[in-house]
Amino acid sequence: MGIVWSQFFPPKPTLTEANLPSQKGKVFIVTGGYSGVGFELCKILYQAGGKVYLTGRSEEKALQAITDLKTGSPNSEGEIVFLPLELDDLTTIKPAVEKFTSVESRLDVLFNNAGVSNPPQGSVSPQGHELQLATNCLGPHLLTQLLLPTMKQTARNETQASVRVIWLSSIVVDASAPSNGVNLDDFLRRDAGMNRNYEHTKVGNWFLANDLAKKVGEDGILSVAVNPGNLKSNLTRHFPSWVPILVAPLLYHPQMGAYSELWAGFSPELTISDGGKYILPWGRLHPKPREDLLRAMRSKEESGTGDAALFIQYCNDKIEAFK
């Protein structure tokens, strides 16, 4: 309970726009970058001189966000570019990556920031997947896999762990996620609870982060999961109207969530050995992750359950045709 409580009242952030080094010459992708936490993160990276690719489905919203960013930081040496992408539609991801790689030969940090929570019951993606599974897990997984060659190339010329993949999770991982993390059957049932499926996807993000860390750590790429914090954002847009009002006193400005992602993306405290670990608001390693979830990420030969591997294989199977 103490760990959950500390995520409602985190210590002050240690890495902000005030002490982030210049990011001139670095390239970043932020999914869901034109609102909420993503917008605040893009603002910090842009102000620091980085080249930021802001992804989303709405060109109108993206161009307005870019205008706002440039107006708010007229002296920035950074660049901000819209990259059309719909994470829930797997057919849009490879074209987006091809557009990116046609003009860029490096990618320093991929922020898998976008997500959806508790959409209307029965919501599905264009490919027929449960909408939260598609948006929170399958889309980011495919995007990451397609960008890995560029990230590996970047890592060859950089210090260890400066090239990173950040996966967004949630407080539900500690507070309410089911034992062992993910029940695939729920995603296949049209009557499964959307809140429970959201919990599945947020644990799934950690499973994906951990699995990727095992596979690309030797290439110098750090992959971690992060709970950005309890925030005032449009992630709650599908909740009943009374929910945001009830929890408002416990919600923080999206900028604070950006600090969580910033620490995950740039903290020099993190090394390759931290791959697959879980980060809490506003930037600190989880001191005591749930043992059942750690066990799920171990194979049976490692005295685990192997449940995470089943989820990873499921995701691999669903994205294979779109690579």
pLDDT in tens, 16-47: 999 999 999 999 999 999 999 999 999 999 99
Q: How far apart are CA 312 and CA 214, in angstroms?
A: 13
pTM: predicted TM-score of the whole model, two decimal places:
0.94
Q: At what angle do helices 93-101 and 139-156 cross, to 10 degrees?
A: 20
* 292-312 confidence digits (pLDDT tens): 999 999 999 999 999 999 999
pLDDT tens figures, 212-253: 999 999 999 999 999 999 887 554 443 444 345 445 566 889
Q: And the tokens for 132?
A: 């939260």
pLDDT band for position 4 (cuts 50, 70, 90): confident
What lies within 8 Å, CB to CB, of 282 at 6+ separation is 10, 11, 12, 13, 14, 229, 256, 259, 260, 263
Q: Tell whether the model's pLDDT for residue 61 goes beyond 90.
A: yes
Please choose, from the candidates 132, 176, 136, 171, the residue with its C-alpha nearest in 3D space to the C-alpha of residue 250: 171
Identify which has the larger pLDDT, 211 or 4.
211
DSSP label at residue 33: T
CA atoms within 13 A on the CB side of 175: 18
Residue type at position 79: E
Which residues, including other chains, have CB under 8 Å from residue 316's CB and lie 6 or more apart?
A: 141
Each residue of 118-128: pLDDT tens digit?
899 889 999 99
Greater confidence (230 vs 101) lies with: 101
Domain boundaries, the chain: 2-322
3-state secondary structure of 74: coil
pLDDT digits (tens, 9 = 90+) for 157-178: 998 899 999 999 999 999 988 8
Residue 28: exposure state from Cβ atoms within 10 A (0-12, 13-18, ≥19)? buried
Architecture of domain 2-322: 3-Layer(aba) Sandwich (3.40)
In angstroms, the CA 65 to CA 144 distance is 24
Q: Which residue has the tokens 């949630």?
A: 170
| Residues classed as catalytic | 169, 198, 202
Looking at residue 51, its pLDDT comes to 98
CA distance linking residue 13 with residue 257, whole number of Å: 10
